Amino acid sequence: MATRDELRRLASESLVSHFSDLCEGAVIVDAQSRVVWMNDHYPGRLGIVDPSLAIGQPIERVIANSQMRQVVESGKPIMLDIMDVGEESFVVSRLPLRDAAGMVVGAVGFILYDDPRHLAPVVSRYQQLRADLADAERKLAEARRTKYTFSSFIGAGEASTELKQAARRAARTASSVLILGETGTGKELLAQAIHAASPRADRPFVAVNIAAVPETLLEAEFFGVAPGAYTGADRRGREGKFKLADHGTLFLDEIGDMSLALQAKLLRTLQEREFEAVGSNRLVAVDVRIIAATSRNLEQMVADGTFRADLYYRLNVITLNTPPLRERPEDMALLAEYLIELICRQLDIPAHDISSPALNRLLRHDWPGNVRELANVLERALLMTDIDLLEVADLERVMPKVRDSVPAAGSNVIGMAEAVAQAERKAILAALDESRGNKAQAARSLGISRAALYEKIAALGLTADAA
Ligand SMILES: Nc1ncnc2c1ncn2[C@@H]1O[C@H](COP(=O)(O)OP(=O)(O)OP(=O)(O)O)[C@@H](O)[C@H]1O
């Protein structure tokens, strides 16, 4: 009569031998996940030409997406799984092997069926889900595809050419980029162009305007919220921008407006390449390329102690300076022509030209709002002119100084809405002036949120003046 231990030994031996005979393939790895044995079917099923060369190799060298190492490292079986090799899908099972003391000494993997039709309902559902996921990922990447490339950055003068060359070089690397320049000089355009020319072009480009998101919401915006972290609307949890930008590029606009507390969290994420969602203690790994931008003097902020030096150096691997429009008059004609054509197309109005005196008028303005302001002025001038040639008078009508003055002729009575808008415009400009363009500080002194300030600036068409 066999003892209990002998019976157990016999059972496990015959189980393995039966299994390996019956199933379509079997493989055993050791504690380092190196292949030590495979049955006769295994190499044929998986297209392994010379099985003798596989022995002693790490399992991933033999089967690139094998999960055997996970079983060895965790000591937990994966009872039923679908493994894709090339075009084929296999139903597989993986079990850890333990010695007498219970230590994991390896793992055994079986290919149960090479024809997943045996599990048709499960497999078809799996394949459907996989197709849906691929479709959703493609749509997401499409939605996040950048609008701009380097050819969208207009300017052929020396400063623009050098800037574009440096940005093209940056696109070829994976380093962080810091773009410095006044408002409206094309920082976001350039960030998009860098992404579009980088190896990450097919992955998402995700932008966060730090100044436009209320401070209290920024952490959740960046890192997401774990399910159940909040009651109410967010109970199901939400992905943060870091996760959405995984394998792509994360554009951090107005980085100079970030609080010191969040700067510390951002730095940690960039260093460790992992983060925790709000309300979770599970670390999530991410791979994002960072492009940050600001119109503020970050170096001065570091000296003042309002921006972390370590974060500054981390972001400032490659620096690009977008020159203000007034410093590149050589680009004005090209830009004006390009913008007029673009605006006419967008507004669906006939093509327009610009007279030489009008072009000279543009050159005399100092453009605190840069290209955005130029586009704004041209659009309003185009909407008001009756002929297809922009003249000085058309521009004068809409250029900032004229716009803000009281109408010379006619009644002095203005509607309430306009009166309120004028008062708001004045207050915002004064606050921005006092804070030297720092929108967070301006919002504080106005007693409104930064998000509200951004909305007002856009609604009042103030962008041009708000530098
Ligand atoms: N060199 C350029 N060629 C063509 N369009 C440009 C150029 N620079 C800026 N623009 C246009 O001007 C507008 C503002 O550009 P963008 O948003 O990139 O500026 P920004 O520097 O990021 O501004 P902010 O600091 O206010 O966020 C956009 O519509 C952009 O397409």
Model confidence pLDDT, tens digit, residues 199-223: 999 889 999 999 888 888 899 999 9
In the predicted structure, residue 239 carries a pLDDT above the cut 70: yes
What's the CATH number of domain 150-323, 3.40.50.300, 3.30.450.20, 3.40.1410.10, 3.40.50.970?
3.40.50.300
Model confidence pLDDT, tens digit, residues 409-419: 444 555 666 67
d(CA 223, CA 376): 35
Query: pTM of the entire structure?
Result: 0.64
Model confidence pLDDT, tens digit, residues 325-378: 999 999 999 999 999 999 999 989 988 999 999 999 999 998 988 999 999 999
Identify the pLDDT of residue 406.
Answer: 41
- Indicate the domain borders of the chain: 11-120, 150-323, 326-405, 413-467
Task: Find, among 184, 124, 464, 135, the residue nearest to 322 by Cα.
Answer: 184
Residue entry with tokens 């380092």: 32
State if residue 184 touches ligand 1 by the CB under 6 angstroms criterion.
yes
What's the CATH number of domain 326-405, 3.30.360.10, 3.50.50.60, 3.40.50.1820, 1.10.8.60?
1.10.8.60
3-state secondary structure of 111: strand
Model confidence pLDDT, tens digit, residues 316-340: 999 999 999 999 999 999 999 999 9
In the predicted structure, residue 435 carries a pLDDT above the cut 60: yes
Model confidence pLDDT, tens digit, residues 93-131: 899 998 888 899 999 998 877 666 666 777 777 778 888
Q: How far does residue 373's CA lie from ligand 1's centre (Å)? A: 9
Identify the pLDDT of residue 466.
Answer: 45
Percentage of the chain modeled with pLDDT above 70? 89
Q: How far does residue 55's CA lie from ligand 1's centre (Å)? A: 58
Q: How far does residue 184's CA lie from ligand 1's centre (Å)? A: 5
- Residue 139 phi/psi, 5-degree rounding, is -65, -40
Task: Find, among 358, 340, 336, the residue nearest to 349 by Cα.
Answer: 340
Does ipTM surpass 0.90 in this model? Answer: yes
Q: What 8-state DSSP symbol labels residue 129?
A: H
In the predicted structure, residue 467 carries a pLDDT above the cut 50: no
Average pLDDT over residues 130-145: 78
In the predicted structure, residue 145 carries a pLDDT above the cut 50: yes
Identify the pLDDT of residue 235.
Answer: 63
Answer with the residue of higher pLDDT: 297 or 52.
297
Atom number of ligand 1 nearest to Cα 295:
25
413-467 matches 150-323 in CATH topology:
no
Q: Which helix (H) or strand (E) holds 250?
A: strand 249-253
Q: What is the mean pLDDT of the chain?
A: 85
Percentage of the chain modeled with pLDDT above 90? 47
What residue owns the CA closest to ligand 1's atom 31?
Answer: 189
Q: How far does residue 426's CA lie from ligand 1's centre (Å)? A: 25
Identify the pLDDT of residue 9.
Answer: 78
State if residue 186 touches ligand 1 by the CB under 6 angstroms criterion.
yes
CATH architecture entry for 413-467: Orthogonal Bundle (1.10)
Q: Give me the CATH topology for the region 11-120.
A: Beta-Lactamase (3.30.450)
